[in-house]
Structure 1
Amino acid sequence: MIPITLSEFEQSMEGAVFPLAVAVSGGSDSLALMLLAHKLAQKKGSYVIALTVDHGLREESREEGRRVAQWAQAQNIQHVILDWVGDKPTARIQEKARKARYALLTQWCHQNRISTLLLGHHQQDQEETFWLRLSSGSGLTGLSGMKKRTVRDGILFLRPILDFPKECLVATLSAHNQEWIEDPSNHNPHFFRGRLRQFLSEEGLVSGRLNQVIKKLQMDADFIQSSLENAIAHVVQAHDSGYLAVKKEYFSALHPAIAKRLLSFLMQWFSNADYSPRATQVTGVMDKIKKGIPFTTGGIYWVFSHEEIFLFRERRAIQQGFSISSLQEKTLWDQRFWIDPQLKEYVPEGTILGSLKSGWLNSTVETKSLSRATPWKSGELSEAIQKCHMKKLDCAGAHVPRNDNLGKAIYLHQFVPTLPALWVKGKVVAVPHLCYATLECEKDLRKFIYLKPLFHDSLRFTI
């Protein structure tokens, strides 16, 4: 095998924004990626930063991190070691270490205003992923493998060497007289991936031909993905107060394959999980929707009207509150709302952001002002609250869900308690999405507490 040329590498870097970060473990794959990215950055008059995560799971990991730092410094490449602190898992070790690794890498990129992170997955990694997912019963989306470009939380995860075999990466290192570290866990039979690698090698099932099959599957998956995005755009509406509405007529007309993927997307939107829910769980939701009876699953409360399916956050699944003063960067609360750290400038010291909780309306607003048989229209609940002598915020366009044929208790007792609220000394001082506040504030606080987009970076994550 011959080394990867700078021209070949540059063609695979479409979309990258310099300066950028490179995840470097010290293995041949990530080290070759670091060197190639460094050469390209020099050509463009920029630079790269190498990031090494020390999981603390092996005694030698700290020394390996230092060796990577020395190699990077020898090339005039900035290097940072990110430590995974806290208790370490005793089960599902690789899975949990992977999640911690990406969390640390993403956090560092946000803190240092880096928008592109390079990952060292190569052709054999892609093929191993195919076999892993095949063994777990994955469908088309899973079998289409890792995507070359994935955006998550505003960071572009780019895999520029995904189409290159490992031998080319080793040849690239040899051309630069660069050593590398062999991670023993890669071939450890204790882990399924290690056993799989040994089996594939012994049976000769690792080859470039499978990579071509994966590319064909990716084309089919991309077509279905495009159909799904089109369906979502026409069928689903995200409301700024934290719930989703699905048009029943359009949903019923969807092909079952697209309808199930749409439900999977909605469930993943609420969970913010890396991967879609299991197919059996999605099928169960589809069956319950056909019955038209309200139900809860996946942290979601599903309610039906004549025209729409409403998805609210299930009350018992709401995330715990936290102190606004602790905010250092934009933070996702309850997997639904982005909280801007500028909020600290407009609220009292000691303010807690959390859910509104049950019983607040009954104790704050005259019950008779909310008792009615007709549907709430946009802003009407806000007006009812304001009539109870609450201070008014400028909340033009505030919206609460309409209900065509269900009692209002559905919304007062299931939806309203899921709204984000600001608490001081155990009392609610503001509910931005109800235009309610007892504190002096010239700003519409919804500018600092806002719903994450429906299409938040990517419909599926494959990192």
Structure 2
Amino acid sequence: MAASATRRIVETDRVAVAFSGGLDSTALLHVATRSGARVLALHVHHGLQPQADDWVVHCERVAAEFGACFASTRLTGAPARGDSIEAWARSGRHQALHDMATAAGADLLLLAHHRQDQAETFVLQAMRGAGVAGLAAMPRMHWRDGLCWARPWLDQPRARILAYAEQHGLRWIEDPSNADARLARNRLRQTLWPAFPGGEAGLAQAARWAQQAAALAAEVAKQDLAGLAPGERLDLPALTRLSPARASNALRAWLSRHTQAPASLVARLLEEWRPGSPAMWPAPGGELHAYRDGLFWFDGAVEAPPASLVDLSRPGLHPQPGWRGGWLVEAAPIGIAPARLVCLTQRARASADQFQRAPTSVPRSLKKACQEAGLPPWRRGGPLLLDGEGRLIAVAGLGVDARAFADQDEPQLSLRWLEDSALLQSEGAARNPA
């Protein structure tokens, strides 16, 4: 799914509003512009309705009347055969809104979803058999890719929004597709609310309870995984010693670091794994491997990048995209002198490489060292770091070679390899400290 260039270049704004031109977003844009904030109205042309070109003109005119800047994007492409039009449009719309907001320098995007939207989302998710994460429906606020998506009216009934719009004489678009009974949400609106006019508030409350349950499950999973998976390996025997519900919760959380795993995969893994037995389960985007009673994620990549020079003499995260991970450099009481880390060669493993685990141990072949450390076969390819004289400094998954440790009276840095998922978590923690 791609989007064409924006209709015009806009000045930098701090607050963006997703503006379809309908009742809800028109009222939200009106309120936002009356707040005194610098506001940017963002419109997405889906190319699905013959009136869509006229809607762009209408939205640009209304934004100007309200005193907001305006940008619009037209989606390109079309749903694949058999795909949901709603899902295609939603995915493209979200990407287009993100791209326009960030291009304009906004870090807050307001959406006009209200209580009825939340209740409908809860019902649709329930009919799909969703767990608490799905039943939690839409969050009031969340950060994604550097942009805060906020729904300030999620507890407001639509009737109140309509009353506001009529009070201020606002004009809005009526999308004829809202009456199309082929679309699941429209069928729900046409049947559920007439039959249960008071059900909206109860269903929205159920979604709030589900949000609390999902938050609690995430907290428990975080606590469990701190002991079960401090690194890339998930301890399967320890996982199965948890209660079934808690084990399933922790496994789902661990899998979410790597893939969008279906519920059936979680159930199969818990049922099929046997202590001491290697096993493999295909998953979206890769494979899950049970090895030495640990569960590992493998994305299928086997070709190592060519050797390169890297500078790891400064603390921080140093991503190495070709290797699907990166080095975390930190100050440490025992480590390597920064001067030795200025110009390192990073390369794949070679047959003659040896690694020394501790000052009192002897160098072993890298294969033996990996086996002793329980590093699975698909994690043994590197990268390795060597200094300017060709001496081994560190190996991904094994750590620093003991022969590289600095004298105690020198400033020292530690090196630790993080796989992509762990690297992203560390980057997120650095951007959003507690």
Is TM-score (shorter-chain normalized) higher than 0.5?
A: yes
Instruction: Give how far 1:164 is off.
Output: 0.2
Please tell me whether residue 184 in structure 1 is matched to residue 176 in structure 2.
yes
Counterpart Cα distance in 1 of 2:421 and 2:215? 30
Q: What is the one-letter code of the residue matched to 1:76?
A: G
SS at match of 2:92: helix
Residue of structure 2 aligned with 1:286, choices 266, 270, 295? 270
User: Percent identity of the aligned residues?
Assistant: 23
Q: Give the aligned partner of residue 22 of structure 1.
A: 17
Is contact 1:296–1:314 with CA below 8 Å preserved after alignment?
A: no
Distance 1:54 1:397, change over 3 A: farther
Please tell me whether residue 109 in structure 1 is matched to residue 97 in structure 2.
no
Q: Give the aligned partner of residue 329 of structure 2.
A: none
Please tell me whether residue 314 in structure 1 is matched to residue 300 in structure 2.
yes
Counterpart Cα distance in 2 of 1:390 and 1:56? 61
Is contact 2:384–2:395 with CA below 8 Å preserved after alignment?
A: no
Q: Give the aligned partner of residue 399 of structure 1.
A: 396
Q: Give the aligned partner of residue 425 of structure 2.
A: 454
Q: What is the one-letter code of the residue matched to 1:315?
A: A
Residue of structure 1 aligned with 2:282, choices 262, 277, 297? 297
Is contact 1:48–1:77 with CA below 8 Å preserved after alignment?
A: yes
Counterpart Cα distance in 2 of 1:87 and 1:456? 35
Counterpart Cα distance in 1 of 2:389 and 2:78? 46
Is contact 1:151–1:457 with CA below 8 Å preserved after alignment?
A: no
Instruction: Give how far 1:282 is off.
Output: 1.7
Is contact 1:134–1:143 with CA below 8 Å preserved after alignment?
A: yes
Residue of structure 2 aligned with 1:151, choices 139, 143, 156? 143
Counterpart Cα distance in 2 of 1:95 and 1:86? 13
Is contact 1:251–1:259 with CA below 8 Å preserved after alignment?
A: yes
Please tell me whether residue 52 in structure 1 is matched to residue 40 in structure 2.
no
Higher RCO by CA contacts (8 Å cutoff, separation 6 or greater):
1
Distance 1:252 1:66, change over 3 A: same
Q: What is the one-letter code of the residue matched to 1:171?
A: A
With the length of structure 2 as denominator, give the TM-score of the two structures. 0.69
Q: Give the aligned partner of residue 404 of structure 2.
A: none
Q: Deviations over 1:8-55 (max 9, x none)?
A: xxxxxxxxxx81211111111111111222222x0xxx3111111111
Q: Give the aligned partner of residue 236 of structure 1.
A: 229
Distance 1:187 1:237, change over 3 A: farther
Counterpart Cα distance in 2 of 1:143 and 1:456? 29
With the length of structure 1 as denominator, give the TM-score of the two structures. 0.65
Instruction: Give how far 1:305 is off.
Output: 4.3
Q: What is the one-letter code of the residue matched to 1:184?
A: P
Is contact 1:381–1:400 with CA below 8 Å preserved after alignment?
A: no
Give the strand-richer structure, 1 or 2. 2
Instruction: Give how far 1:88 is off.
Output: 4.6
Q: Give the aligned partner of residue 266 of structure 1.
A: 254
Instruction: Give how far 1:146 is off.
Output: 1.5
Q: Give the aligned partner of residue 312 of structure 2.
A: none
Q: Deviations over 1:171-217 (max 9, x none)?
A: 12122211111222223111121111111133125432332333233
Q: Give the aligned partner of residue 114 of structure 2.
A: 122
Q: Give the aligned partner of residue 241 of structure 2.
A: 253
Please tell me whether residue 84 in structure 1 is matched to residue 75 in structure 2.
yes
Counterpart Cα distance in 1 of 2:179 and 2:320? 37
SS at match of 1:25: coil
Q: What is the one-letter code of the residue matched to 2:65?
A: A
RMSD: 3.9
Structure 1: 5+ residue runs without aligned partners? 1-17, 239-243, 319-330, 339-355, 403-443, 459-463
Counterpart Cα distance in 2 of 1:185 and 1:67? 18
Q: Deviations over 1:238-289 (max 9, x none)?
A: 5xxxxx2223454233332232233223333223xxxx53321221222343
Distance 1:382 1:224, change over 3 A: closer
Instruction: Give how far 1:133 is off.
Output: 1.2
Counterpart Cα distance in 2 of 1:113 and 1:337? 29
Distance 1:59 1:396, change over 3 A: farther
Q: Pick the structure with greater CA Rg.
A: 2
Residue of structure 2 aligned with 1:214, choices 188, 207, 227? 207
Counterpart Cα distance in 1 of 2:428 and 2:233? 20
SS at match of 1:36: helix
Q: Give the aligned partner of residue 200 of structure 1.
A: 192
Counterpart Cα distance in 1 of 2:192 and 2:42? 30
Counterpart Cα distance in 2 of 1:126 and 1:79? 27
The residue correspondences of 1:370-409 to structure 2 (distance < 5 A) are 372-375=367-370, 386=386, 399-400=396-397
Distance 1:368 1:151, change over 3 A: closer
Instruction: Give how far 1:105 is off.
Output: 1.5
Aligned residues: 347
Is contact 1:117–1:155 with CA below 8 Å preserved after alignment?
A: yes
